[in-house]
Amino acid sequence: MSLSGLYVPLITPFAADGTVALAALERLAHDVLDAGASGVVALGTTGEPSSLSPVERAQVLDLVAAVCLARDAQVLVGANDATSLGSLKATAALTLVPPFVRPGEDGVVAYFRALAASSAVPLVIYHVPYRTAQPLSVATLRRLAGIPGVIGMKLATGAIDADTVALLADPPPRFAILGGDDVLISPLLALGAHGAVLASAHVATAAFAELTRSGDAGLGLRLARLSAALFAEPNPAVVKAVLHADGRIPTPDVRLPLLPATPGVRDAALAAGLGAAGPISAGTAVVP
């Protein structure tokens, strides 16, 4: 199985009455696939899964999986425990390095070895140490890549550090490295990342998809400015505010502990993603 190109971790849109806006979610999934995404992520952190009820999570997953099945597109699903992984129907599971407990590098390897052995689908490890508080050396990243059933990693270290460079300079065979830092995606692709998982790509999806194909540095710089504006407040508040302003979702609402984007930040993101050509939709290929 090969993972490459652009994957959009879908937000969960909410209706005015607070319920999940399933029709809007379905449109978003089709929009990003129409614009060139290789696939989507359901129930990733951008989708606010911890704020969803079990019924809502099942509704989201069923809908997104059905869209991807009909479109012959890949779907990654945020899943972090043996119960979820044992019955999951998806291309792969996006599984977080255990947060907060800091089990050490040997503990992380043992954890993923056990999860992969019990999972119904392959695993893509989500390594985001500035959130999990668990750093991993390049040697440990290579150990993880060698676990049967682990097929890739969303790499989001927050910097282009020495371990990132070493990993991308000599990537493990048959192991997809997907960049997960939106602002840094252009240099990550230039160093050899196979693709990207980007919440920013809800906006100007076609441009981000083109970046994963071409690596165009000028396009990457323009998109980095857009990503910086979209991440100026906790994700996905600003993304939702922009999508709502563009008429693509019914409300900009997020659920606690997140708060809606402040008007100034929303307007700055709109300015980054809007120009003389008018609204930036999923299909717009160039960012001003």
pTM above 0.85, yes or no: yes
pLDDT of 66 over the 70 cut: yes
The confidence score (pLDDT) of residue 282 equals 62
Pairing of strands 195-197, 5-9: parallel
Cis ω before 98 (30° cut-off from 0): no
SS3 of the chain: helix, strand, coil, percent, to 5: 45, 15, 40
pLDDT of 288 over the 80 cut: no
Query: Active site includes 154?
Result: yes
The answer to whether position 286 is within a domain reads: no
The answer to whether position 276 is within a domain reads: no
The answer to whether position 48 is within a domain reads: yes
The answer to whether position 58 is within a domain reads: yes
Domain count, the chain: 1
Domain that holds residue 150: 5-215
Annotated catalytic residue within 111, 126, 130, 240:
126
Taking a C-beta distance cutoff of 8 angstroms, is the pair 236, 201 a contact? Answer: no
The answer to whether position 230 is within a domain reads: no
User: What CA–CA distance (Å, rounded) separates 72 from 270?
Assistant: 32
The answer for residues whose C-beta is within 8 angstroms of residue 198's C-beta and 6 or more apart is 6, 7, 8, 9, 179, 180, 182, 185, 208, 227
pLDDT tens by residue, 208-232: 999 999 999 999 999 999 999 999 9
Beta partners for 38?
A: none
Q: What is the percent of the chain with per-residue pLDDT over 90, rounded to a whole number? A: 90
The answer to whether position 252 is within a domain reads: no
Q: How confident is the model at residue 259 (pLDDT cuts 50, 70, 90)?
A: very high
Average pLDDT of span 151-180: 96
Annotated catalytic residue within 7, 130, 154, 240:
154
Pairing of strands 39-42, 5-9: parallel
The confidence score (pLDDT) of residue 201 equals 96
- CATH (domain of 65): 3.20.20.70
The answer to whether position 285 is within a domain reads: no
The answer to whether position 57 is within a domain reads: yes
Query: Active site includes 89?
Result: no
